[in-house]
Amino acid sequence: MTIIEAPEGLMVVDPLGSSEPAKIAFELYMTQVGPHTGANLTLHSVIFTHSHIDHFGGVLGLAPEESFTNGSIQVVAPLNLNYMVAGSMFRRAFYMYGNLIKPHARGSIHAGLAFGAANSQFGFVAPTISIDTDLEHHTVAGLDFEFMLTLSTEAPSEIYFFVPELKLLNTGENAVMGMHNFLTPRGAKGRDTMKWVAALQKTLDHYGTKVENMIGQHHWPKYGNAAVVEHLENYRDTIKFTHDQAVRLLNLGLGMEEIGETIELPASLDSNFNTRGHYGHLKHNSKEVYQFYVGWWDGKPATYQQLPPVERAQQYVADMGGNAEVRKRGEWHRDNGNYRYCAEIMNHARFNDPTDMEAKYLKADCLEQIGYSEESGPRRNYMLTGSEELRHVKGAYPPADLGPSFVLNMPLYMLLQGLEIRINPEQANKAHGLSILVGVEETNEIFNVRISNAVMLSLPITDMNARPGSTASFTAKTRSDLIAALVTGNSLLVSVTGDVDTLKKFASCISTDEDAT
């Protein structure tokens, strides 16, 4: 979190990822710093630099939600700020950030961008100022800002800003003090590294001679023009080197795994702490470049139609003489430091026989040793969490609950998209041809929702009375009531016209967290 003391009040940049830590941090400033600076301590505005939850999820720790919805506090954010989260991403995030392992020498040391991720209440408020062109000038809280839109870089939607009066540059999360991820281990779309490079070069072109101070989210600032320019150039070159060399090796015929084992940074970048892989990792990132251009398959016919994990494991283990023989070979490889291979064959043993506890613990031993060898915090956390889960933990993940403010402040089309990816095809086949109208009174949003060929379609319309082939309409006062009705089938949350049973039929098509394996 960054706090800027502006003439018309305080500006908070990226108010952390959840409400409780943001509230504590802001109160610390308000009680221990602000009273001694002579600043106007009215919270005037908030800036979200990009569309990742750790940069806006704590906003409701700063002020009550009404202060944002009634316009008392301005919110500046990039075009199309949104967040669609799948349960699998939440579970993978627990691995990446080490939430399930203790912070100590044999556990989680750090998460790369921070010491860890708080597991508390998330919030969201809609922007009042949306940055939707390449360069925009705005006066916010009495300060002149130049905002630069950098789409499809570290995040799908991200902004930089420059404050001429302070000679201050904020690069969002595009130039942190360590190598970033081209593809986050928690799961997301792969990042367009050449757009990332172009954004950094554009920043140098525009502000390279003007900037004296640089801040970025997660890490410490840089002071002095030379230091700022050097960091931006090194960061640009680290990304471009990884991209260019991964493509070169790809064109030489190397596969994704081979590229990861071959590529090495030049000494000038490898020795620079601010571009080393204590968050992102060179091997990991080079593989993202491969899949960004040519996809998940290595182009070899023999790997095009591989058996699924259980069937493959059964064949492997049978050919190797059974689980006991596989364990024996695994113990030899573990004792000789071949932890990666041992983990691989123990994976086969586990898929072949999930009740084999010796294979389970042997795999845990190997993951633990791999984790200890990692400089990257997330890679270490992933391995040690996997080891911990094999030994002790099962099903300890909290549900992917983002909190009511997400539902209240997201447009209805996005909330309906969230339901579209939760359709259970077996149930939806029974509802083929279903068509209903749904609407929200306070926002005047209306959609025709259909089930066809086990697919949910959400089509915007303008008239609730149009009813194109629909058997019922359901109107709620708020988005949260409507979504709750669609998920649960509870007709008490909505006004109903037509066949009320259609609501329950639709709700039966929505899979829940309990359906997950």
360 and 475 share a domain? no
| Domain final residue, candidates 317, 344, 373 | 373
Cβ contacts of 206 within 8 Å, gap of 6 or more: 135, 148, 162
347 and 441 share a domain? no
CATH of the domain at 190: 3.60.15.30
Angle at which helix 309-319 crosses helix 323-335, to 10 degrees, equals 90
Long-range contacts of 405-410 (CB under 8 A, 24+ apart): 405/60, 405/65, 405/122, 405/123, 405/124, 405/125, 406/83, 406/122, 406/123, 406/124, 407/479, 407/480, 407/483, 408/65, 408/478, 408/479, 408/480, 409/124, 409/125, 409/126, 410/82, 410/124, 410/126, 410/479
**Burial grade of 454 (CB within 10 A; 0-12, 13-18, 19 or more):** middle
Tally of domains in the chain: 3
In a domain, 19, yes or no: yes
Query: What pLDDT sits at residue 121?
Result: 81
117 and 20 share a domain? yes
Is pTM beyond 0.85 here? yes
- Which range of residues forms the domain containing residue 331? 306-373
- Tell me the C-alpha distance between 76 and 130, whole Å: 6
Query: What pLDDT sits at residue 98?
Result: 87
- Mean pLDDT in order along the chain per 10 residues (517 residues): 97 94 96 95 96 89 94 91 54 83 90 80 89 96 97 92 98 95 88 97 98 93 98 98 98 96 96 94 97 94 96 97 98 98 98 96 98 96 94 65 69 90 94 94 92 95 72 92 94 94 95 61
In a domain, 226, yes or no: yes
In a domain, 349, yes or no: yes
335 and 481 share a domain? no
71 and 177 share a domain? yes
Residue indicated by tokens 């080891």: 387
* DSSP H/E element including 451: strand 445-452
In a domain, 75, yes or no: yes
| Domain final residue, candidates 172, 197, 230 | 230
Query: What pLDDT sits at residue 414?
Result: 87
In a domain, 272, yes or no: no
* Coil vs helix vs strand at 122: coil
339 and 434 share a domain? no
Query: What pLDDT sits at residue 368?
Result: 98
70 and 188 share a domain? yes
6 and 143 share a domain? yes
Query: What pLDDT sits at residue 59?
Result: 95
- Tell me the C-alpha distance between 440 and 165, whole Å: 44
Query: What pLDDT sits at residue 513?
Result: 59
CATH of the domain at 491: 3.30.1050.10
- In this structure, the strands spanning 472-476 and 495-498 are antiparallel
Q: What's CA 413's distance to the chain center, in Å?
A: 20
In a domain, 141, yes or no: yes
349 and 433 share a domain? no
Query: What pLDDT sits at residue 85?
Result: 44
Longest dimension (CA), the chain: 77
Give which of 89, 87, 79 is closest to 183, Cα–Cα: 89
63 and 110 share a domain? yes
The dihedrals phi and psi of 360, each to the nearest 5 degrees, come to -60, -45
In a domain, 287, yes or no: no
Please give the structure tokens belonging to residue 220. 């410490």
- In this structure, the strands spanning 472-476 and 435-440 are parallel
In a domain, 39, yes or no: yes
121 and 207 share a domain? yes
- Tell me the C-alpha distance between 237 and 175, whole Å: 11
What is the number of helices (H) and of strands (E) in the chain? Answer: 18, 16
124 and 195 share a domain? yes
